[in-house]
Amino acid sequence: MPLIASPQGIVILITFAAAVKENDTSPLILYVALAITMVINLLTLLFGARILKFIPPAALMVTLKVVGVLLTALAVQLILWGMGDLGLVPPIGTKAH
């Protein structure tokens, strides 16, 4: 499942779905974002072996660590926004969601 619906793709969908619902706009942007994310994932899976030939293992490890930290920070931010919406914690900064 994570190879098809990446964590980044799930975050994009949740963020755009909330924006579409909040702004009463057409869900077309949500579908376009979903399609773009799926195409990027498909291309990565299809050409993964060829891509890895040009990337050294050390660069992959650094990228993995950086993306992991960014994904963790994004998860914490989404949790804080959700807790703020529920009134469990005071709102933090301006809401971008």
Does 23 lie in the same domain as 67? no
Does 65 lie in the same domain as 43? no
Q: Which domain holds residue 38?
A: 1-54
Cα dist from 59 to 1, 45, 52, 69, 96, whole Å: 25, 19, 10, 15, 32
Does 63 lie in the same domain as 48? no
Does 92 lie in the same domain as 48? no
Does 42 lie in the same domain as 11? yes
Does 50 lie in the same domain as 4? yes
The helix/strand/coil state of 51 is helix
Does 64 lie in the same domain as 50? no
> What is the tally of structural domains in the chain?
2
pLDDT in tens, the chain (97 residues): 455 667 777 777 777 777 777 777 777 877 887 788 788 888 988 998 998 899 999 998 999 899 889 888 888 888 888 888 888 988 776 555 5
Does 47 lie in the same domain as 61? no
Does 63 lie in the same domain as 94? yes
